[in-house]
Chains A and B, each alone.
Chain A
Amino acid sequence: MDEKFQDGIDDYLLNRMSEAEKSAFLHEVEQDDEKKKQLEFTKQVRDAIRSREEKLQVLTRFQEDYDKERNVGVGCAVGTEFTESCHSDTTATPVPVRSTKKMWFWISGVAALVVIGFFAVRPMWLHESSSDYNGIPMEQMRGGDEVFTPASADSTDNDTVRMGIDKKETPDE
């Protein structure tokens, strides 16, 4: 790269030349292919930098609007770049994520207990209602509840007839 000529190119592109200087410069460029290429390249660099910088400025504005919109519209929206900074923003209203989680934890815990309890008790109900049910094992071992029920009318337990075998008790004994 011809560095001295580059200064001339910069002055030309950035309008730092008088009309006379411009004419002389353009005449010089016309005479030399390499200089023409150098001028063309520098123009393209300038245009590419301008295009990028203009877009970057617009993008900065878009980014601000986007963050605001997502913040106002959907709070800490899931799946946006804003989400990650959202919860660390001290000015934002804190979302009670923990308490909601806790509540669901308790609800599922109680539900689990109810389900386990149901399956633990259910076989006993089914067994009691069957025809060959004789009571729970403990009851069978102690003979059942009938020992506490009053004896029936024809039971010998309540007989008052003495068979004469009872020994008479004498006053001497």
Chain B
Amino acid sequence: MAKTIRFKTSIQEKEARLVAGMADKSQRMQYELYAYCADYFWSNYRGVLFAEKEVAKEIFQNAFIAFWENIERRRIYVEDGVVMGKDNKPLSGSILTYFMSIARNKYLEFGREHPVYADPETQLGRLIKKEGIDAHAYTDMLYDSGENMMLEILADVISRMSKRCSEILTKFYYEEKKLEVILSEIPTIESYDSLKTKKNKCMNALRDSAREIYKRKLNS
């Protein structure tokens, strides 16, 4: 059986090593990949996103988490020393390009959710007006079509949740605090019932958004 011989550059080898290390949960490799992406992002983000520093920081963080989760769920992985992507084909281009595509999609989504940043007078507004938001490209980049799809959609929706919902659900499901304790930690919520209602509303909003995206993805 004929075997294709692939020639790899030192950059491809380095990237394959980083992705493999990330998948193996090597902390050193995780940090190396983080620094590799951060160097590239902060040198180039102004050409990709027209965002203030604080917004850019948030986008970088969310994009890196999505990138990390894509590696964990083997949406990108290493085979025979080559970084593989969609449809088990070698990733076209560098992992940095892949990472920046996630960042760009996160940025456009951010603009859609924060209309003040997407004002037609701003550069982001002009960009959205010119290019629009390609929902298909966005979901394709972030969501699998396999069994993990709902989890991936939820991860993305959670990253875009309001601060208040994020705070309540994190304290409840991650820190495993009881509602009484959470109530004492968020003095702006006046009563136990009010907190419980807010928590349920957040869950409902999450469910609605995730279901809508899920349906869209299935129909695409």
Q: Are B57 and A81 in contact (CB under 8 A)?
A: yes
Taken together as a complex, chains A and B put the C-alpha atoms of A79 and B64 apart, in Å, by 18
**Interface status of A28 (Cβ within 8 A of chain B):** no
How far does the Cβ of A118 sit from chain B's closest Cβ, in whole Å?
A: 41
Contact among A41, A47, A50, A80 with B39 in the assembled complex (CB-CB below 8 Å): A80
B154 contacts A45, C-beta separation under 8 Å: yes
B61 near A44 with CB under 8 A, answer no
Residues 156-168 of chain B: 1 if any A CB is under 8 Å from the residue's CB, otherwise 0?
0011000000000
Q: Is A3 an interface residue, CB under 8 A from the partner? A: yes
A7 to B119: give the CA distance in the assembly, Å.
Answer: 42
Cβ of B38 < 8 Å from any Cβ of A? yes
- Enumerate chain A residues within 8 angstroms of B173, measured Cβ to Cβ: 13-14, 45-46, 49-50
Q: Say yes or no: is A6 at the interface (Cβ < 8 Å to chain B).
A: yes
Q: Which residue of A lies closest to B34 (CB)?
A: A62
Q: Does A153 count as interface, using CB distance less than 8 angstroms? A: no
CA distance A42 to B74 in the complex (A): 24
List which B39-56 residues lie within 8 A (CB) of chain A: 39, 41-43, 53, 56
Closest to B152 in A: A48
A53 to B170, CA, bound (A): 8
Contact pick for A1, options B57, B172, B204, CB 8 Å: B204
**Is A55 interfacial (CB-CB < 8 Å)?**
yes
Asked if B151 CB lies within 8 Å of chain A CBs, one says yes
Shortest Cβ gap from B143 to chain A (Å): 13
From known contacts A6-B200, A80-B42, A81-B38, infer whether A59 and B174 are also in contact, taking CB-CB under 8 Å.
no
Select which of B57, B150, B158, B176 is within 8 A of A52 by beta carbon: B158
Contact across chains for B65 and A55 when beta carbons are under 8 A apart: yes
Q: Which residues of B contact A10 (CB under 8 A)?
A: 172
Q: Hey, what's the 0/1 contact readout for B99-136 against A, CB within 8 Å counting as 1?
A: 00000000000000000000000000000000000000
How distant is A128 from chain B, measured CB to nearest CB, in Å?
Answer: 57
Complex contacts, B39 vs chain A, CB 8 Å: 79-80
A58 nearest CB neighbor, chain B only: B30
Provide the residues of chain A in CB contact with B38, threshold 8 Å: 66, 80-81
Q: Is B169 touching A49 in the complex (CB atoms < 8 A)?
A: yes
Docked-complex contact A45 and B65, CB < 8 angstroms:
no
Q: Does A65 contact B (CB under 8 A)?
A: yes
A83 proximal to B (CB < 8 A): yes
A67 → chain B closest CB, angstroms:
10
Q: Return chain A residues, CB-CB under 8 Å to B158.
A: 45, 48-49, 52
Excluding A45-B158, A81-B56, 15 further A-B contacts by CB distance (< 8 Å) are A1-B204, A41-B207, A48-B151, A48-B154, A48-B155, A49-B169, A49-B170, A49-B174, A51-B69, A52-B158, A52-B159, A59-B65, A62-B30, A79-B39, A81-B53
A-B contact list, 26 entries, CB within 8 Å: A1-B203, A1-B204, A10-B172, A13-B173, A45-B169, A46-B174, A48-B151, A48-B155, A48-B158, A49-B169, A49-B173, A50-B174, A51-B69, A51-B155, A52-B159, A53-B170, A55-B68, A56-B61, A56-B65, A62-B30, A62-B31, A62-B34, A78-B43, A81-B42, A81-B56, A84-B53
Question: Chain A residues in contact with chain B, CB under 8 A?
Answer: 1, 3, 6, 10, 13-14, 41-42, 44-53, 55-56, 58-59, 62, 65-66, 69, 78-84
Which 10 pairs, one residue from A and one from B, show the smallest C-beta to C-beta distance? Answer: A79-B43, A81-B42, A46-B173, A48-B154, A48-B155, A62-B34, A53-B174, A80-B42, A49-B173, A55-B65
